[in-house]
Chains A and B, each alone.
Chain A
Amino acid sequence: MQLDLSKFSPESFVPATEEEKRQQDVMSESTTFFKDGMRKLFKNPLAVLSITLLAIILITIIFAPMVVPYRYEEILSVNGKRDKGAKNLAPFTYSEMEQKYIENGGERFPHIFGTDEMCRDYFVRVIYATRISLFIGFFASIIVLIIGMLYGSISGYLGGRVDLIMMRIVDIIYSLPDMLMIILLSVVFQEVLHFASGSLLDKLGTNMVSLFIVFGLLYWVGMARLIRGQILSIKENEYILAARSIGAKPSRIIRQHILPNCLSVIIISTALQIPSAIFTESFLSFVGIGVKAPMPSLGSLANSAREGLQSYPYKLIFPAVVICLIVLSLNLLGDGLRDAFDPKLKR
């Protein structure tokens, strides 16, 4: 584009006035990618709502057991005697034994969600069930993240034949039916594995171990494919070539340059993996191969609520609402994260 200098008169080249100089000032301050993304995230009302919900749920499940004096496996007893009449109480009601106890001047913490069919306080059970579900969901996603990241980054960075073979393996694993494998492993492990009693693994039961094993064996392929794709495109950048030319080891290049650029994709994918893991766990608990009794799980609570469904519908409503809230907020949060951090989205 050639400028036609004869079109400009000498007046066009007068020094700029103060006002014109101010117009050139940068309007917004420069921020890092992370800060910018977080700002966009908090402007999204649904994302803020889900973060608030999750925070409320987290605070409740951490602090509620300190306030409520019942334990999740404890069968209610008054003055040391088993309270048989405390079965299936409605929320905020007391059994006969407890009422007599209160009349005689004793204090009894109210049963906020009532009791279940084994005379246990339902509120504490729902709280612990939420804890377990969130723990399992989170832990399973971490397993998927670590294995997928390792596999995907090695495969993507090395490329060539190594990449080809690794992706073939991924294809075979991808076509194995995951749910059936979990069920199969659970059935077998129940007979074969035995843990030291009292340990966390024992409380969770062998079924959850099979869930974690299958997650570690099967579920990471999605993450691996994602990361490999990202690496394949980042690898072509010149700063990678520059790093290689000054002798940086591949592991350092992956760690320092490539993975931080994949971070947004990784976060989004993990945030969406957690509700999927929670779904899987509650599905298994519902079918009966979930967390070992008496440890409750949202799925097993929903399952045991089926028996007295007509008379005590609240037993289903409480765990159902909790599952829906958790999964909904995590999904909305994942969507919000994607809207805020995904550089590929057109605004």
Chain B
Amino acid sequence: MGKYIIKRVLLAVLTVFVICAITFFLMHAVPGGPFNREKALSDATIAALNARYNLDKPTGEQFLLYMKALLHGDFGVSLKNGREIKAVIGESFPISAKLGLSAMVVALLLGTVFGSTAALMRNKLPDRLIVFFSTLFTAVPSFILATLLLLVFCIKLQWVPVWSATSHNYFLPVLALSAYPMAYITRLSKTSMLDALSQDYIRTARAKGVSRFKMIFKHALRNSLIPVITYAGPQIAYIITGSMVIETIFTVGGLGSKFVSAITNRDYTMIMATTIFLAALMVIANLICDLLYKLVDPRIKYD
């Protein structure tokens, strides 16, 4: 087990390194450099800027310098407003993290509840309703749902205030972001709950006179959660990319919307830094989920 953990951690570190390399060399494949883009700067200014940002050195050396700076937590400076990227990430990431984690928890909790309910009341009205809505919400893209929610609840009905610097209302963004994972987890947990309920040990427990309540919560639920945990990894990836659009639509000042505006503004250092940060986050989260899953499911043999 220990050897397996070490192997996975090394693989994760390798992946992050590969991502940094790919990002760095792709960004530097853009011709013209970051400073020749807009206003015409004098040659001396360009030379000074290039020297300041190490752009006159060979690419390989630049990469090493960049990696060294990264390891010290220095993400560089934004090309658009000159602020230190570390500070930008520092103030916008907590908002995104709160949004993302809330959406994950909501999706997990409500998804399992709905899915289990549908499994327990099979072919009755709750089941049909839940199946209908979960199928529907796996087909609606998150940005469309978000825009519709914004239109109906913020603008037309004015029930929920629009996000501003002072009033942080997470309700609608969390709802929009959690819709797809919730629907997916509902379907997933319904199938796995049905699977668990048809097992022999459940029949035995019932025959022994175990109460229905205990049977569900103590025996069936635990086993039906395993496939849901497997989904946690892709769910995190979805949350991270989904938060980009949700934050843009609801004008939440999180890292996702900063990323989108960096793309629109061609702010290369910001794009690079945010990509590496988010990718590293995804890899670490996947690693944790993978290890957790191997821990929880006793049937898994280690590679």
Chain A residues engaging chain B, CB cutoff 8 angstroms: 171-172, 175-181, 183-185, 187-188, 191-192, 275, 279, 282-283, 286-289, 299, 302-303, 305-306, 309-310, 313, 316, 320, 323-324, 327-328, 331-332
A184 and B271: CB pair below 8 A?
yes
Contacts of A175 in B (CB 8 A): 11-12, 15, 283, 286
Chain B residues engaging chain A, CB cutoff 8 angstroms: 11-12, 14-15, 18-19, 22-23, 26-27, 29-32, 135-136, 138-141, 143-144, 147-148, 150-151, 155-156, 237, 240-241, 244-245, 248-249, 260, 263-264, 266, 271, 275, 278-279, 282-283, 286
The residue from B12, B151, B240 contacting A309, defined by CB atoms under 8 A apart: B151
B14 and A172: CB pair below 8 A?
yes
> What CA separation (Å) do A235 and B139 show in the bound complex?
37
Expressed in whole angstroms, the minimum distance between the Cβ of B134 and any Cβ of chain A is 11
A313 closest partner in B (C-beta): B151
Interface of A is mostly: helix
A283 and B26: CB pair below 8 A?
no
A316 in contact with B151 given A172-B15, A283-B143, A323-B141 (CB within 8 Å): yes
The residue from A184, A283, A289 contacting B275, defined by CB atoms under 8 A apart: A184
A177 and B263: CB pair below 8 A?
no
A183 and B32: CB pair below 8 A?
no
> What CA separation (Å) do A282 and B142 show in the bound complex?
11
A328 in contact with B139 given A187-B266, A188-B27 (CB within 8 Å): yes
B245 and A286: CB pair below 8 A?
yes
26 A-B residue pairs with CB within 8 Å = A171-B11, A172-B14, A172-B15, A175-B283, A177-B19, A177-B278, A177-B282, A180-B278, A187-B266, A188-B26, A192-B30, A283-B143, A287-B263, A288-B260, A302-B144, A303-B143, A306-B147, A309-B150, A309-B155, A310-B155, A310-B156, A316-B151, A323-B144, A324-B141, A327-B141, A328-B136
B30 and A309: CB pair below 8 A?
no
The residue from B18, B19, B32, B144 contacting A316, defined by CB atoms under 8 A apart: B144
Expressed in whole angstroms, the minimum distance between the Cβ of B117 and any Cβ of chain A is 20
Q: Which 8 A-B pairs have the closest CB atoms?
A: A328-B139, A327-B139, A179-B241, A320-B144, A191-B30, A177-B279, A175-B15, A177-B282
The residue from A171, A184, A283, A289 contacting B241, defined by CB atoms under 8 A apart: A283
Expressed in whole angstroms, the minimum distance between the Cβ of B73 and any Cβ of chain A is 20
A185 and B26: CB pair below 8 A?
yes
Given contacts A177-B19, A310-B156, 15 further A-B pairs with CB under 8 A are A172-B15, A175-B286, A180-B275, A184-B22, A184-B26, A184-B271, A187-B266, A283-B143, A283-B245, A287-B245, A299-B143, A302-B147, A320-B148, A327-B139, A331-B135
Expressed in whole angstroms, the minimum distance between the Cβ of A54 and any Cβ of chain B is 13
> What CA separation (Å) do A327 and B138 show in the bound complex?
9
A288 closest partner in B (C-beta): B264
A327 closest partner in B (C-beta): B139
> What CA separation (Å) do A172 and B263 show in the bound complex?
26
B18 and A176: CB pair below 8 A?
yes
> What CA separation (Å) do A180 and B280 show in the bound complex?
11
Contacts of B11 in A (CB 8 A): 171-172, 175
